[in-house]
């Protein structure tokens, strides 16, 4: 053993190699595909007025969606933070649900509640008011707030609960009024949390596709991502598609860089089940106000989900067989996607932690601003000369889904792995534990939890994805979300409702099983 | 997708390796719906083609069929494409993906002369805005009155849907250089722009909008199938744009004879008699028994507007630009 440190060196060599391969795959798929589209495009046309309108709409809706989500999250999170009530834990858990809720399922639920024949309009009409419409600008906003209000609430709630209870105690002892508390404790916290929350949601809304596809109202309510789809699928204008993709990528990257600088709060932390003792917030009026905020937010989240269950349960028994075959197909895609996500995320996380490079993680997270449609399109162009891309629609979907889940997996894995290395890294080094031994005996058992979480998230996101598959699914092999979209657009509402319920149940089950699986293993 | 397609797909899978010949026909969504012409026509054709299997594949709305075919190129599985229209034939011809139909001197009952060696009509109709008589009192009598009203309408995207394309050309033929201004005026009436006709019509029947872009023949569906005379097509002084729906043989087909047989069959009663009460259009060749009762109660426009030959293709890009710009403001 003349070369004592060598195992460690070769270990890190392997980590670098594996990480570099995984990162190369990610870069090839995100940036390489844009290049492929550009190369294939015959000349790049300019931006016409309708493209400017799409850009304007994208930025406006993302700004408004993020602003509304964050603004509404403040009173809701404040109420949840300072009140104890039955079902509080369940409500906090429910706030995590929309993130893994398939967009098309949520859209279905929102139409049932907010559509012209929906519950809200019916009640409005019963009182002699005009019905509201879910289509166009405000439909897109409602859907985005539905998806992101819970996320914003969780982020702001974390901020509230991060204020030590002792400070509120001290404030009470010093006779602070609510206004004083707001000035000295709450506003500084909000100033820290809100910009990050706003930017995350802005980013998520920026690349919105399925919502705009289902609820957008033509050229007036077209996002850039939807315009990319139309340029490719309807006009076969690759130059336009690539140009739009670059604009979206640039915009997203700019926002992402700003977001990284304002220190993003992490959305997945635990410890949200503790109510802060507040001595200044007693009294029936304040309690009632908080209660109504909580009730409104809960209704806004629960009603569409209830509507799906309510509309769907009757149709379950008579669902056309193709719903079940497409469900099986979707499960297959999700399984592949989970495996690919982990195969990419683990090496990148390992490289990022062992090298201490923020850049590695940053590049791995790049896909959050990439357009899944452009990735799909690029793959289409690359594959087309050799194989039938339509025959490969499902593998391509699985791959693109995996890439899109990568940022979330990295966010879960990198901090966990970095903690493991801090705690056990030296011990493992001194034992000469390297390579697969280190992976199997140290990392995997201790990473079970974030791995399970990442797998669950990747599985649920892939199951519910309606993006690439819309680009080039063959007519007879739709995934379940595409099947639902087709049922919706041919107005077979009963079947669509039943299929939406199936997808909802599958997504929740897949997330729960994989996430739970990670938790069981860690104890074993 | 539709039951028939799935059954057909299932049968096709079972039959792999067997000698049954499959004719794959790309068409639009509503054609293969349970209530559409697909099931009836499939049965009629399979009864006379000696063990063949007719498989309809729905690929969205009419205009999407063409972009789909362009994406697939010569690798496509389609043998026949059914559901393009007269506004798309020139563009379809340019793709070089189609073969001549070989039918000489087809006997057609169209309002205009038809002379095309590649695309054969199977039905036709006039575009119109359909409304519910119980809900709309002041029925607009022109495109201008519609834009000036506060009625909500659902229209279709001209890039994916043939009715959407038809409306775009209708407006262009009426307003010419002022078309973009018209779209700006109409913009606040448009509830939403759908990808296909099916979802637009579904939204209208569900009560989401006051009017929907469809056909003068659409009220016949409610009249005959639902015994409901509350739906009507608004008659516009501007005239109504004419649509002729066509089918064509894909050049790369390996089922040449079967495709020819299908195109011949298309202009016989077995196909044409299904059209009025399933596709709710005028048949390209009136069946022996004439049109069903109810069709006589439909509005027949005085003026038919239409771009012929390559005219529609020539102005498409300009008209589309005006449509997108006008509606995005």
3-state secondary structure chain B: CCHHHHHHHHHHHHCCCCCCCEEEEEECHHHHCCCCCHHHHHHHHHHHCCCCEEEEEECCCHHHHHHHHHHHHHHCCCCEEEEEECCCHHHHHHCCCEECCCCCCCCCCCCCCCCCCCEEEEEEEEEEEEEECCCCCCCCCCHHHHHHCCCCEEEECCCCCHHHHHHHHHHHHHHHHHHHHHHHHHHHHEEEEECCHHHHHHHHHCCCCCEEEEECCHHHHHHHHCCCCCEEECCCCCCEEEEEEEEEEECCCCCHHHHHHHHHHHCCHHHHCCHHHHCCCEECCCCCCCCCCCHHHCCCCCCEECCCCCHHHHHHHHHHHHHHHHHHC
Same-domain status, B231 and B276: no
Is the CB of residue A368 less than 8 Å away from at least one CB of chain B?
Answer: no
Report the alpha-carbon distance of residue A93 to residue A89 in Å, rounded: 6
Among candidate residues A237, A256, A192, A202, the one with its CA nearest the CA of residue A45: A237
Same-domain status, B253 and B200: no
Inter-chain contact A234–B58, Cβ cutoff 8 Å? no
Same-domain status, B321 and B183: yes
pTM given for the model: 0.83
Give residue B275's domain range: 3-124+244-293
Mutate: best of A58, A218, A494, partner B, most B CBs <10 A: A218
In the 8-state DSSP scheme, what is residue A441? I
Report the alpha-carbon distance of residue A66 to residue A159 in Å, rounded: 18
Same-domain status, B304 and B157: yes
Strand partners, B193: B155
Residue of chain A minimizing CA distance to B70: A236
Report the alpha-carbon distance of residue B310 to residue B118 in Å, rounded: 14
- Least reliable range by pLDDT among A275-289, B33-47, B313-327: A275-289
CA A413 to each of CA A46, A347, A388, A400: distance values in angstroms, whole numbers, following the listed order = 42, 10, 36, 20
Same-domain status, B40 and B173: no
Same-domain status, B77 and B136: no
**Residues contacting A419, CB < 8 A, separation 6+:** none
3-state helix, strand, coil in chain A (%, to 5): 80, 0, 20
Report the alpha-carbon distance of residue B253 to residue B99 in Å, rounded: 9
Same-domain status, B142 and B235: yes
Q: Residue A85 region, left (φ>0) first, then alpha (ψ -120 to 50), else beta?
A: beta
Q: Closest partner residue to B328 among A50, A136, A234, by Cβ?
A: A50
Residue of chain A minimizing CA distance to B206: A117
Same-domain status, B249 and B202: no
Q: Residues A373, A29: contact at Cβ < 8 Å?
A: no
In the 8-state DSSP scheme, what is residue A392? G
A-B contacts (CB, under 8 Å): 118
ipTM over 0.90: no
CA distance B64 to chain A (A): 7
Return the pLDDT at B14.
44
Burial of A335 (C-beta count, 10 Å sphere; 0-12/13-18/19+): middle
Inform me whether the pLDDT recorded for B116 exceeds 80: yes
Report the alpha-carbon distance of residue A493 to residue A115 in Å, rounded: 13
CA distance A477 to chain B (A): 10
Inter-chain contact A490–B199, Cβ cutoff 8 Å? yes
Return the pLDDT at A454.
93
- pLDDT per residue of chain A (524 residues) written in tens, 0 to 9: 444 444 444 457 788 888 899 999 999 998 888 888 888 776 666 788 889 999 999 999 999 999 999 999 999 999 998 888 888 888 888 888 888 889 888 888 898 898 877 888 888 888 888 777 788 888 999 999 999 999 999 889 888 888 877 888 888 888 888 888 888 888 888 888 898 889 989 988 998 888 988 888 688 889 999 999 888 888 878 888 888 988 888 898 888 888 777 655 554 444 555 666 776 777 788 889 999 999 999 999 999 999 889 888 988 888 888 899 999 999 999 999 999 999 999 999 999 888 887 788 888 777 877 888 888 888 888 888 888 888 888 999 999 999 999 988 998 898 888 888 888 888 888 888 877 888 888 888 888 889 999 999 999 999 999 888 877 777 678 899 988 888 877 667 788 889 999 999 999 999 999 988 777 654 43
Report the alpha-carbon distance of residue A155 to residue A267 in Å, rounded: 6
In chain A, which residues have their Cβ closer than 8 Å to the Cβ of B160? Answer: 234
Is the CB of residue A218 less than 8 Å away from at least one CB of chain B?
Answer: yes
Inter-chain contact B192–A135, Cβ cutoff 8 Å? yes
Report the alpha-carbon distance of residue A169 to residue A176 in Å, rounded: 10
Same-domain status, B129 and B139: yes
Report the alpha-carbon distance of residue B103 to residue B93 in Å, rounded: 17
Inter-chain contact A218–B71, Cβ cutoff 8 Å? no
CA distance B302 to chain A (A): 31
Is the dihedral angle over the CA atoms A117, A121, A124, A128 positive or is it negative? negative
CA B260 to each of CA B59, B83, B99, B253, B264: distance values in angstroms, whole numbers, following the listed order = 22, 17, 10, 11, 6
Is the CB of residue A390 less than 8 Å away from at least one CB of chain B?
Answer: yes
Domains and CATH numbers, chain A: 1-40+319-524 (1.10.3720.10), 54-312 (1.10.3720.10)
Q: What is the 3-state secondary structure (H, E, C) of B223-287?
A: HHHCCCCCEEECCCCCCEEEEEEEEEEECCCCCHHHHHHHHHHHCCHHHHCCHHHHCCCEECCCC
Return the pLDDT at B68.
85
Please indicate whether residue A179 or residue B10 has the higher confidence score (pLDDT): A179
Report the alpha-carbon distance of residue B148 to residue B163 in Å, rounded: 22
Is the CB of residue A133 less than 8 Å away from at least one CB of chain B?
Answer: yes
Q: How many folded domains does chain B comprise?
A: 2
Report the alpha-carbon distance of residue A23 to residue A363 in Å, rounded: 8
Please identify which residue in the block is written with the tokens 């909500």: B152
Q: Residues A456, A512: contact at Cβ < 8 Å?
A: yes
Report the alpha-carbon distance of residue A242 to residue A381 in Å, rounded: 12
Q: Closest partner residue to B198 among A53, A219, A489, by Cβ?
A: A489
Report the alpha-carbon distance of residue B25 to residue B37 in Å, rounded: 13
Is the dihedral angle over the CA atoms B208, B209, B214, B219 positive or is it negative? positive
In chain A, which residues have their Cβ closer than 8 Å to the Cβ of B328? Answer: 49-50, 53-54, 219-220, 222
CA B203 to each of CA A306, A497, B57, B151, B214: distance values in angstroms, whole numbers, following the listed order = 22, 16, 24, 15, 12
The domain that contains B169 carries what CATH number? 3.40.190.10
Report the alpha-carbon distance of residue A56 to residue A316 in Å, rounded: 41
Inter-chain contact B208–A220, Cβ cutoff 8 Å? no
Among candidate residues A281, A68, A65, A274, the one with its CA nearest the CA of residue A158: A274
Inter-chain contact A478–B1, Cβ cutoff 8 Å? yes
Report the alpha-carbon distance of residue A97 to residue A92 in Å, rounded: 9
Same-domain status, B166 and B20: no
Q: Residues A482, A394: contact at Cβ < 8 Å?
A: no
Q: What angle do CA A29, A32, A38 make, to 5 degrees?
A: 130
In chain A, which residues have their Cβ closer than 8 Å to the Cβ of B181? Answer: none
Q: How many CA atoms lie within 13 Å of A186's alpha carbon, on the beta-carbon side?
A: 21
Q: Residues A106, A188: contact at Cβ < 8 Å?
A: no
Q: Closest partner residue to B75 among A48, A236, A388, by Cβ?
A: A388
Same-domain status, B184 and B258: no
Report the alpha-carbon distance of residue A514 to residue A408 in Å, rounded: 15
Same-domain status, B114 and B164: no
Report the alpha-carbon distance of residue B191 to residue B207 in Å, rounded: 12
Inter-chain contact A475–B59, Cβ cutoff 8 Å? yes
- Residue B53 in tokens: 């299997």
Distance between alpha carbon B202 and the CA centroid of its chain, in Å?
16
Q: Which of residues 163-192 of B touch A (CB under 8 A)?
A: 187, 190-192
Report the alpha-carbon distance of residue B13 to residue A523 in Å, rounded: 47
CA distance A58 to chain B (A): 12
**Residues contacting A398, CB < 8 A, separation 6+:** A333, A334, A336, A337, A340, A462
Q: Closest partner residue to B187 among A133, A220, A483, by Cβ?
A: A220
Q: Beta-carbon neighbour count of residue A7 at 10 Å?
A: 18
CA distance A254 to chain B (A): 26
- Least reliable range by pLDDT among A47-61, A476-490, B9-23, B60-74: B9-23
Among candidate residues B322, B320, B321, the one with its CA nearest the CA of residue B87: B320
């Amino acid at each position: 053993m003349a070369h004592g440190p060598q195992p460690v060196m070769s270990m890190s060599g392997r980590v670098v190699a594996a990480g570099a391969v995984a990162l190369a795959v990610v870069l090839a798929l995100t940036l390489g595909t844009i290049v492929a589209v550009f190369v294939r495009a015959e000349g790049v046309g300019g931006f016409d007025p309708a493209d400017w309108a799409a850009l304007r709409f994208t930025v406006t809706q993302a700004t408004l969606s993020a602003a509304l989500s964050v603004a509404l999250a403040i009173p809701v999170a404040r109420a949840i933070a300072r009140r104890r009530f039955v079902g509080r834990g369940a409500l906090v858990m429910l706030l995590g649900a929309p993130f893994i809720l398939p967009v098309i399922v949520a859209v279905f639920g929102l139409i049932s509640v907010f559509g012209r024949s929906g519950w809200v309009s019916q009640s409005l009409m019963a009182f002699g008011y005009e019905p509201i419409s879910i289509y166009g600008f405000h439909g897109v906003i409602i859907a985005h707030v539905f998806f992101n209000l819970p996320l914003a609430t969780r982020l702001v709630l974390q901020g509230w609960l991060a204020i030590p209870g002792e400070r509120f105690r001290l404030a009470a002892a010093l006779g602070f009024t609510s206004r004083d508390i707001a000035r000295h404790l709450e506003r500084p916290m909000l100033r820290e949390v809100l910009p990050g929350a706003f930017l995350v949601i802005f980013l998520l809304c920026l690349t919105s596709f399925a919502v705009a596809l289902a609820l957008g109202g033509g050229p007036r309510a077209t996002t850039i991502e939807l315009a990319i789809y139309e340029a490719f699928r309807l006009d076969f204008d690759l130059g336009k598609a690539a140009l739009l993709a670059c604009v979206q990528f640039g915009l997203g990257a700019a926002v992402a860089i700003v977001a990284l600088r304002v220190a993003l709060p992490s959305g997945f932390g635990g410890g949200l089940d503790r109510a802060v003792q507040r001595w200044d917030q007693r009294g029936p009026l304040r309690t009632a106000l908080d209660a109504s905020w909580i009730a409104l937010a809960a209704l806004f989240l629960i009603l569409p989900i209830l509507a799906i269950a309510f509309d769907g349960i009757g149709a379950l028994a008579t669902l056309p067989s193709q719903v079940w075959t497409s469900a099986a197909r979707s499960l297959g895609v999700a399984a592949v996607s989970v495996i690919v996500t982990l195969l990419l995320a683990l090496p990148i996380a390992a490289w990022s932690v062992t090298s201490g490079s923020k850049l590695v993680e940053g590049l791995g997270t790049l896909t959050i601003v990439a357009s899944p449609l452009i990735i799909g399109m690029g793959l289409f162009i690359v594959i087309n000369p050799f194989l039938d891309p339509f025959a490969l629609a499902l593998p391509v979907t699985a791959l693109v889904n995996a890439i899109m889940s990568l940022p979330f997996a990295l966010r879960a894995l990198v901090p966990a792995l970095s903690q493991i290395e801090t705690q056990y890294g030296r011990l493992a080094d001194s034992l000469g534990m390297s390579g697969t031994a280190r992976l199997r005996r140290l990392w995997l058992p201790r990473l079970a939890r974030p791995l399970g979480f990442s797998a669950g998230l990747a599985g649920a996101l892939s199951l519910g994805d309606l993006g690439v598959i819309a680009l080039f699914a063959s007519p007879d092999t739709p995934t379940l979300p595409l099947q639902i979209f087709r049922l919706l657009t041919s107005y077979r509402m009963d079947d669509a409702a039943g299929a939406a319920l199936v997808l909802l149940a599958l997504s929740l089950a897949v997330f729960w099983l994989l996430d739970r699986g990670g938790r069981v293993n860690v104890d074993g | 997708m539709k039951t028939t397609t799935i059954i057909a797909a299932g049968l096709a899978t079972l039959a792999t390796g067997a000698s049954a010949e499959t004719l794959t026909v790309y068409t639009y969504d509503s054609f293969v719906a349970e209530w559409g012409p697909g099931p009836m026509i499939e049965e009629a054709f399979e009864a006379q083609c000696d063990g063949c299997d007719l498989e309809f594949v729905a690929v969205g709305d009419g205009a999407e069929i063409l972009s789909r075919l362009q994406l697939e190129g010569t690798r496509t599985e389609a043998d026949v494409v059914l559901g393009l229209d007269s506004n798309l034939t020139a563009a379809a011809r340019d793709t070089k993906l189609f073969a001549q139909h070989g039918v000489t001197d087809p006997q057609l009952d169209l309002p205009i002369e038809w002379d095309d060696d590649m695309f054969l009509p199977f039905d036709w109709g006039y575009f119109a805005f359909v409304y519910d008589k119980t809900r709309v009192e002041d029925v607009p009598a022109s495109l201008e009155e519609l834009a000036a009203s506060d009625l909500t309408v659902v229209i279709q995207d001209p890039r994916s849907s043939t009715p959407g394309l038809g409306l775009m050309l209708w407006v262009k033929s009426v307003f010419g250089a002022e078309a973009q201004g018209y779209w700006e005026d109409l913009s606040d009436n448009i509830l939403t722009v759908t990808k296909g006709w099916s979802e637009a019509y579904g939204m209208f029947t569900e009560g989401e909008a006051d009017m929907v872009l469809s056909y003068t023949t659409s009220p016949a569906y409610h009249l005959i199938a639902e015994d409901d005379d509350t739906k009507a097509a608004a008659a516009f002084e501007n005239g109504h744009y004419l649509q002729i729906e066509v089918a064509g043989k894909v050049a790369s087909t390996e089922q040449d004879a079967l495709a020819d047989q299908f195109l011949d069959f298309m202009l016989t009663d077995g196909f044409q008699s299904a059209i009025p009460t399933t596709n709710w259009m005028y048949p390209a060749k009136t069946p022996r028994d004439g049109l069903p009762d109810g069709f006589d109660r439909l509005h027949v426009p005085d003026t038919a507007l239409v771009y012929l030959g390559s005219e529609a293709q020539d102005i498409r890009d300009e008209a589309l630009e005006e449509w997108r710009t006008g509606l995005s403001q």
